[in-house]
């Protein structure tokens, strides 16, 4: 499966804070994370 092309964003999960597509999640602790490219801070459990 590739994520190239105009439909790629539709296969990515949405940020629970702003609704933009999430490309990566960086965990900064057991209860903290930052999603990219929007930069919103989230609780990792929010992505389950």
In order, the DSSP letters of 2-25 are ---STTGGGGSPBPTTT-PBPSEE
Is 21 a member of any domain?
yes
Q: Give the range of the structural domain holding residue 32, as residue numbers without chain letter.
A: 8-47
By percentage, how much of the chain surpasses pLDDT 90? 52
Is 2 a member of any domain?
no
Domain count, the chain: 1
**Phi-psi map region of 5: left, alpha, beta (phi>0 left; psi -120 to 50 alpha):** left
Kindly indicate the confidence band of residue 30, based on its pLDDT and cuts at 50, 70 and 90.
confident
26 vs 30, residue with greater confidence: 26
Q: SS3 for 1?
A: coil
Kindly indicate the confidence band of residue 1, based on its pLDDT and cuts at 50, 70 and 90.
very low
pLDDT higher than threshold 80 for residue 14:
yes
Is 1 a member of any domain?
no
User: Considering only CA atoms, which of 29, 30, 23 is closest in space to residue 39?
Assistant: 23
């Amino acid at each position: 499966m590739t994520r190239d092309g105009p439909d790629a964003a539709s296969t990515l999960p949405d940020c629970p804070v702003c609704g933009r597509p999430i490309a990566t999640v960086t965990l900064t602790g057991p209860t903290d994370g930052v999603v990219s490219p929007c930069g919103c801070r989230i609780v990792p459990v929010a992505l389950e």
